[in-house]
Amino acid sequence: MTHLTIADIAARLGISTAAVSYALNGRPGVSAATRQRVLDLVEEMEWKPDSTARSLRSRRSMAVGIALSRDPEEIAYEPSYSYIQAGIEQALAARGYSLMISRPGRRQGAELDVYRTWAAQRRVDGVILFDLLADDPRLSVLPELGLPFVEVTSDDAGDGVPKVLVDDAADAATLVNHLADQGYRSIVHLSGPVELTHERLRIDGVTRSASARGLRTIHSVCRYTMDDGTRGFLDAVGQVADRPVGILASSDLLALGAVRAAHLMGLSIPDGVGVVSWDDSLPCRISDPPLTSLERRPIDMGRKAAELLLDRLDGQARGLVRLPPSGIMVRASSRRLTSA
């Protein structure tokens, strides 16, 4: 690989170093033709930027952070995190950044301690927030630390914080309507922890959509594990008078736990029990039976969150990126009526 600097590229093309920098970082201020000339030369010379030199010049760490305050076993076995992380890293790499991840667990204040350490040591230039809470302390601590951030959330609070907005209300309607169309007469919703904003919004969305279709709903609050999916199913299904019952799970692991519980009880899937999941990962596709699930495009979600944060770091104001409602992949776990 040829050792080149931005100055070398500028000299070869007869343009300024600023123009080269704008082209390489996808920033405005350079024409499309000039940008393409820079990219063509970079590809021809197999050039890669020196991230250390860039960091020294810009006084940036050239890293973005995410901290996940969940139990380690949940993170290890929950596939959706891997997909989102892949999208984040794809977007960061395209602009010369890397990703720093911390898994501080559920100890109160542990995630805030991570941010304080990162800020004091200048380890990251900004962070992406997941799993927003009501009265979330991160929203006041991060500005005090001088750490820019963006949110991935389903709560359009209108607070001016840049965010990638997920339409959980529309997704709830998609799942409930599918179960209703397939002839299920009641809904058991296996939700995640209700302190999470998106879970409270999902509960509200499922309740409203089920009511509109004349279906009774029972909510069972769970942790995001297979064991809790099994427990939540067993706790709730005995309360259901109207059969067949549709199980709507807030994660793949909860859905797999529900399938296990149905097998233990000798309940037929999909005739007696239908199971659908809010996420779609490889376990959904290889489960027995394969699980109906939303097509939420988590890689795209992660990519958009990273791009939104990098734009904020570059001074480009974009307040809200709305993700389109998810599609649905209908599989054998809920396909009772072939004509529906």
Question: pLDDT tens digits for 306-334?
Answer: 999 999 998 887 788 999 999 999 999 99
Work out the average pLDDT over 214-239.
94
Dihedral sign from CA coordinates of 99, 103, 106, 112: negative
Model pLDDT, residue 3: 58
Q: Are 253 and 226 in contact (CB under 8 A)?
A: yes
Model pLDDT, residue 71: 73
Place 76 in a pLDDT band, splitting at 50, 70 and 90.
confident
- Measure Cα distances from 86 to 65, 97, 176, 212, 214 in Å: 14, 13, 29, 37, 40
Dihedral sign from CA coordinates of 184, 190, 194, 198: negative
DSSP structure class, residue 339 = T
Q: Which residues contact 213 (CB under 8 A, 6 or more apart)?
A: 176, 177, 180
Would you mind telling me the total number of residues written for the chain in this entry? 340
pLDDT tens-place string over residues 40-61: 887 777 666 555 445 444 567 8
* Cis peptide leading into residue 137 (ω within 30°): no
Range 33-57 burial, b when 16+ CB lie within 10 A, else e: ebbebbeebbeeeebebeeeebbee
Model pLDDT, residue 254: 95
Using the predicted structure, report yes or no on whether residue 1 has a pLDDT greater than 50.
no
pLDDT tens-place string over residues 283-293: 899 999 999 99
- Say whether 10 sits in a helix, a strand or coil: helix
Q: What are phi and psi of 127, to 5 degrees?
A: -135, 155
pLDDT tens-place string over residues 108-159: 789 999 999 999 999 999 999 999 998 899 999 999 999 999 999 998 877 7
CA dist., res. 43 & res. 36, Å (int)? 10
CA trace torsion 209, 277, 193, 190 (10° rounding):
70
Helix boundaries (H) for the chain? 6-13, 17-24, 32-45, 51-58, 72-77, 79-94, 110-121, 138-145, 168-181, 197-212, 226-237, 252-265, 282-286, 298-313
Model pLDDT, residue 52: 45
Of 58-72, 110-124, 265-279, where does mean pLDDT reach its minimum?
A: 58-72
Q: Are 41 and 4 in contact (CB under 8 A)?
A: no
Q: What single letter denotes the amino acid at residue 290?
A: P
Q: Which residues contact 282 (CB under 8 A, 6 or more apart)?
A: 79
In the chain, the domains with their CATH numbers are 6-49 (1.10.260.40), 63-164+298-318 (3.40.50.2300), 168-297 (3.40.50.2300)
Model pLDDT, residue 57: 44
Q: Comparing C-alpha atoms, which of 220, 228, 268, 236 is closest to residue 252?
A: 228
Query: Using only C-alpha atoms, what is the Rg of the chain?
Result: 23
Q: Are 325 and 291 in contact (CB under 8 A)?
A: no
Model pLDDT, residue 157: 75
CA dist., res. 140 & res. 223, Å (int)? 27
Work out the average pLDDT over 173-193.
97
Of 275 and 30, which is predicted with more confidence? Answer: 275
Using the predicted structure, report yes or no on whether residue 225 has a pLDDT greater than 60.
yes
* Cis peptide leading into residue 143 (ω within 30°): no
Mean pLDDT computed over every residue of the chain = 88
